[in-house]
Amino acid sequence: MREKVWTDTKLVSQKRQIVKNLIWATVNKLSDYLQLIKFKLSSLVVITIALGYLIALKKSWLNVGGHFALTLLGSFLIVAAANAFNQILERDVDALMKRTKNRPLPAGRMSVSEATSYATLMAVFGLTILALSTNWKTTTLAVTALAIYVLVYTPLKRKSEFCILIGSISGAIPPAMGWVAARNELSHEAVALFAFQFLWQFPHFWAIAWMYRDDYLKVGFRILPINGNQNSVTRKTVYFTIATVIGSAYPLLAGKASMAYAFGVILMGLWFIKAAMHFYFCQTRQSAKNLLCVADSYLPLVLILWLWTSQNGR
């Protein structure tokens, strides 16, 4: 009797261990997929698409429905696919960099064929959702952003320091996508959203490149903070930060903003410029990290304020 009880207890313990192992394996695999698509970055991009959409509609997210949800779902899949393809193409250099060597592909936790299949499915489903639920202009913008990021920007990082210019074009398309999905037109405001995010890409990217410049130098990425004079790089960061702040003034210049918007963008602009100036004078990893944190907060905050202005008029 005791032996039977002991055997039953052992079987229960083994079953529990099997279930626990399955749960951990599932969690780890999900974590690898999230790393492959750079989930945090993909989410930030989709937020700008959502805000571009809502600015076009002049409504809050509480007043939108299925079309909005499908636009975001399709867009998220496209952005995720772009990031996955980027990691597939750069898996060899990722293995050499401290920051990226533990990603699923260089670490060997995921095969190239698995990652490629995953990325391809996301791209196909994402484009299909956008084509069926939005319009051909939005789908074309999505295809353009995906192609530029994967086929031009990614390989250009090893050849020319002007890769940031190309990458900024791809990175600035999302809010315009949101606008076009909502309005089915490429208006002046959509172009203004594109220009604002295009200029923002430079201080954002250069802050990252500065933080990891040793890794980038090791793998031969030809990025401006490595190949250019340090003072030149930080000075240009200040110039583009100021240009970004000026770009946020479009609603004011177009006569579509209130004094509250002016007050808000001035305060946030000074905050952004202060971080860029600190980066210029200190030129440390901490000052670059601080600039990155400010930049990543500044972009959605300005777009939210832009949305508030579009809802409330002057």
Annotate the chain with DSSP letters as a single string. -HHHHHHHHHHHHHHHHHHHHHHHHHHHHHHHHHHHTTHHHHHHHHHHHHHHHHHHHT--GGG--HHHHHHHHHHHHHHHHHHHHHHHHTHHHHTTSTTTTTSTTTTTSS-HHHHHHHHHHHHHHHHHHHHHHS-HHHHHHHHHHHHIIIIIIHHHTTT-TTHHHHHHHHHHHHHHHHHHHHHSS--HHHHHHHHHHHHHHHHHHHHHHHHTHHHHHHHT---HHHHS-HHHHHHHHHHHHHHHHHHTTHHHHTT---HHHHHHHHHHHHHHHHHHHHHHHH--HHHHHHHHHHHHHHHHHHHHHHHHHHHH--
pLDDT score of 225: 59
CA trace torsion 246, 247, 249, 253 (10° rounding): 110
Please give the chain's pLDDT, 314 residues, in tens: 555 555 656 666 777 777 777 787 778 888 999 999 999 999 999 999 999 999 998 766 666 788 999 999 999 999 999 999 999 999 999 999 888 899 999 999 999 999 999 999 999 999 999 999 999 999 999 999 999 999 999 999 888 888 889 999 999 999 999 999 999 998 899 999 999 999 999 999 999 989 988 888 888 887 765 555 667 889 999 999 999 999 999 988 877 777 888 899 999 999 999 999 999 999 999 999 999 999 999 999 999 998 888 766 55
pTM of this structure:
0.88
